[in-house]
Each structure stands twice: as C-alpha cells, then as structure tokens.
C-alpha cells in the first residue's frame, strides 16, 4: 500500500494501521460541532479519571482489609510501606478521587454557562446529575475505608443526618449502619458499595449519559442548531473550512487528546509532589469512638453543601431541609430556567450575573464550610446559604423576563 503524505496524525494512523475500520465500527459517521473550546474536553478527562480510579483501586484492593481491626494498618502500613509501589497507587487513587470532583464541577458549570441542559438535552443533564450523586456516594464510602479518625467521625455525622427524616429516620440510620453505631458492619457494607455496587452503577449511568448525547449531539459555544447531515456533506465534499462540523475521528479526538495530555501533566505533578492536599492529617490517626475530633468537616468537594446545612445555625431542621434542597436543586435546571433559547450566558444579561453570583457563592460556601461555625463565621455562612437558595428562587423569574425580551 502506498503511504501518502498525511495532513494530520489521524490520517497518518489510518493509513498505517487501517484504524478507519475500527473508527467506523465504534463511531460510525459521528460529527462534532467546530466551534467548541477546550471545556468540551472535560468529559473525556472525566472518563480517564474514572479509568485511573478503577485501575489504581484494583491494586489497592489486593492488600486492603475491610475489617475495623485491620483496615487502618493495611492502608497506612502494608500498602504505604511494605508493598512495592503501593504508595504510588494510593496517591494516584487519592488525588484522582479529589480532582475528579474539580473536573465534575467544571463540566457541570460549563453545561450551565452554555445552556447545554435545554431543548432535548434534559436526559444528558439528568444522567449527568445522577453521576454526580453516585460519585458523591463513591467518594464518601471510599473515605471511610482507611478507618482513620475523620473516616469514622464523618461517617458518624453523615449517617446521623438520615435520623432527621420524619417517621422512618431513626430506623433508617440503624439500617444504613447495620448496627446502632458506626461499626465493623458499617465498614464492610460501605466497602461492598465502594468496590463493586457503586462502580457498576456508575458504569451503567456513564453508558446512559453517552447514549443520550448521540441524538441531540453536543452543544456549541453559540448554542447554534447545526444541521449535522448537511454540514457533514459539505465537509466530505472538500469544503472543510465552510463546514460547521468536524469528524469525531480523528480530528476532534486529537484535540481532546491534547487537552487530556496537558491535564495529565498537571495530574501527575500533583500525584508526585502535592499528594498531601488530598489527604487530611487527622485521618492518619486510627479511628477512636471515644475521642471526637474538635472540628469535623468533610472533604473540600462537599464543603459547599455542608455549609448550607450548618448555615442555619439557629435551627437544625431548617438546615437539614436547606441541605436536602441544595443536593437536588441542580437536577431541576432544565425546568427552573424558563428561557428555552440555547445561548451562552454572555448573551443573557440577567443570567450572566446569576451565573457569576452562583460561582462566588459556591466558593464562599466552600471557604466558610471549613472554618469553625462560631462568632461572625456563623452569620457569614448563613448569608451565603440564604443567597444560594435565593438564586434558585429568582432563576425562573429572570429567565422568564429574558425570554419575554426584558433584557437585551
């Protein structure tokens, strides 16, 4: 076979390895809008992080012991000191578990900024939110496994929250824990959830997320409706510059791989030089049910919703209701936003302000979620929490005003 001089890496691979066949099987005629920026690569970054978590997790599983008498040492002594490269797999797993939330938040906020949850994309959004919830459960159950002080006490506090549900609360807490207190039975069931049940569910939902992406296609920076067939014909006829689409393979994928590579440099820099940020020093002390740490807080990615819970410092019930709302409110984005036009926030004056106030509020909640809730901190946390709820109350109003031409 004669090998021609190729314009890009994809064509070069196609000629040498015959990869077009494979691409056809996997991604038959799949086209991607041209005007999308690096933020659209974060879905692939998430896939990669999930794969890294599964692979590093499998190695940890070979030495981890799900038993309250053995768990702490199996992680901190066996894996970290005795097993060759055990420390590497633990650091990859811990850093990926933390960074995956940063990337999920970027991916979610990109969807919000560009209105990618609207007009036929509701299912992509709902499946994405289900991924957020299952990843949260995965993160929480994983945090329990080293059986350090923070593992134990965070489990104690979070499982306790279910006790406030009317009627069934107290029984539900015992059912979740498998005991009257957080104990060995709790550890083994969270272990089962973490290493088997939840990963299986996550894989299923990722499948659903991708399947629901095929029909409306991904959105683009202008929210423009693209006639994919007509544009693909243009591209194939040689009018590549005029066409509004590019083929998924190999053109788009090579862009994705570039962003992914830059991300992986950052990721492994964290793994080798700054892994400490993903681990709480208090969790290097073995769990002790007789000694409550002076200040209990969750991992950084749960701090914003934790602060909504604590923000209503004068009423535990109100705090719990607000916390419940905060955890589900993003599911409702496609219906709370009453303007059906898909446009970036930059072209929606009210929504643009709404979006940036939301970002500032989430950052504020995260910062105050880590501080002790005393003195003036309690009031600042309350203001951020009220603001969070208020944002979702006014969203239908401002988006309706925008739809009716109230903001040009």
Query: Which chain residues interact with ligand HEM by CB under 6 A?
Result: 40, 42-44, 46-47, 50, 104, 107-108, 111, 116-117, 121, 124-125, 128-129, 131-132, 135, 206, 209, 213, 218-219
Q: In the complex with ligand HEM, which residue's Cβ is closer, 121 or 348?
A: 121
Q: In the complex with ligand HEM, which residue's Cβ is closer, 103 or 150?
A: 103
Q: In the complex with ligand HEM, which residue's Cβ is closer, 143 or 252?
A: 252
Q: In the complex with ligand HEM, which residue's Cβ is closer, 40 or 267?
A: 40
CA dist 25 and 403 (Å) reads 42
What's the closest the beta carbon of residue 407 comes to ligand HEM, in angstroms? Answer: 23
CA dist 283 and 142 (Å) reads 13
What's the closest the beta carbon of residue 305 comes to ligand HEM, in angstroms? Answer: 14
Please give the C-alpha separations between residue 56 and each of 3, 51, 64, 268, in angstroms, as whole numbers.
Answer: 40, 9, 12, 13
What's the closest the beta carbon of residue 266 comes to ligand HEM, in angstroms? Answer: 17
What's the closest the beta carbon of residue 355 comes to ligand HEM, in angstroms? Answer: 15
Q: In the complex with ligand HEM, which residue's Cβ is closer, 94 or 104?
A: 104
Q: In the complex with ligand HEM, which residue's Cβ is closer, 79 or 97?
A: 97
What's the closest the beta carbon of residue 33 comes to ligand HEM, in angstroms? Answer: 9
Q: In the complex with ligand HEM, which residue's Cβ is closer, 120 or 170?
A: 120
What's the closest the beta carbon of residue 254 comes to ligand HEM, in angstroms? Answer: 15
CB under 8 Å, gap of 24 or more: what pairs does 100-104 form?
100/46, 100/49, 100/50, 100/53, 100/135, 101/135, 101/139, 101/299, 101/300, 101/301, 102/301, 103/42, 103/45, 103/46, 103/49, 104/46, 104/131, 104/132, 104/135
What's the closest the beta carbon of residue 252 comes to ligand HEM, in angstroms? Answer: 9
How many other C-beta atoms lie within 10 A of the C-beta of residue 286? 16
Residue number, nearest CB to ligand HEM: 43
What's the closest the beta carbon of residue 20 comes to ligand HEM, in angstroms? Answer: 22
Q: In the complex with ligand HEM, which residue's Cβ is closer, 173 or 206?
A: 206
For residue 322, give both structure tokens: 């607000």
3-state secondary structure 307-337: HHHHHCCCCHHHHHHHHHHHHHHHHHHHHHC
């Amino acid at each position: 076979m004669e090998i021609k001089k190729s314009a890009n890496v994809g064509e070069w691979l196609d000629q040498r390895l015959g990869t077009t066949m494979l691409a056809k099987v996997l991604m038959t005629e799949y086209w991607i809008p041209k005007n999308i920026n690096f933020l659209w690569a974060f879905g692939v970054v998430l896939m990669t992080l999930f794969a890294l978590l599964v692979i590093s997790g499998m190695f940890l599983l070979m030495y981890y012991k799900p038993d309250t008498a053995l768990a702490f040492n199996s992680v901190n002594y066996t894996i970290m000191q005795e097993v060759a490269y055990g420390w590497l797999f633990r650091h990859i797993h811990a850093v990926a578990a933390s960074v995956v939330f940063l990337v999920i938040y970027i991916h979610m906020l990109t969807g919000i900024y560009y209105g990618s949850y609207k007009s036929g994309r509701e299912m992509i959004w709902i499946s994405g939110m289900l991924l957020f919830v299952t990843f949260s459960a995965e993160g929480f159950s994983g945090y329990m496994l080293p059986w350090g002080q923070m593992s134990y006490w965070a489990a104690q506090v979070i499982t306790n929250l279910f006790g406030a549900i009317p009627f069934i609360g107290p029984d539900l807490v015992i059912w979740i824990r498998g005991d009257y207190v957080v104990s060995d039975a709790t550890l083994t069931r969270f272990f089962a959830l973490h290493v088997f049940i939840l990963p299986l569910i996550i894989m299923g939902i990722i499948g659903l997320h991708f399947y629901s992406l095929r029909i409306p296609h991904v959105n683009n920076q202008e929210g423009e409706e693209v006639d994919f067939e007509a544009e693909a014909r243009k591209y194939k006829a040689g009018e590549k510059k005029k066409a509004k689409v590019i083929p998924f393979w190999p053109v788009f994928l090579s862009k994705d791989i570039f962003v992914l590579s830059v991300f992986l440099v950052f990721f492994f820099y964290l793994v080798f030089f700054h892994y400490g940020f993903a681990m709480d020093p208090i969790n290097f002390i073995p769990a002790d049910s007789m000694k409550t740490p002076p200040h209990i807080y969750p991992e950084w990615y749960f701090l914003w919703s934790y602060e909504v819970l604590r923000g209503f410092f004068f009423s535990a019930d109100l705090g719990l209701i607000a916390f419940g709302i905060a955890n589900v409110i993003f599911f409702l984005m496609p219906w709370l936003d009453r303007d059906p036009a898909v446009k970036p926030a930059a072209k929606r004056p009210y929504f643009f302000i709404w979006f940036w106030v939301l970002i500032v509020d989430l950052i504020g909640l995260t910062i105050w979620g880590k501080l002790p809730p005393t003195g003036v901190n309690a009031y600042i946390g309350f203001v951020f929490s009220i603001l969070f709820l208020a944002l979702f109350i006014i969203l239908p109003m401002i988006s309706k005003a925008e739809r009716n031409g109230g903001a040009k």
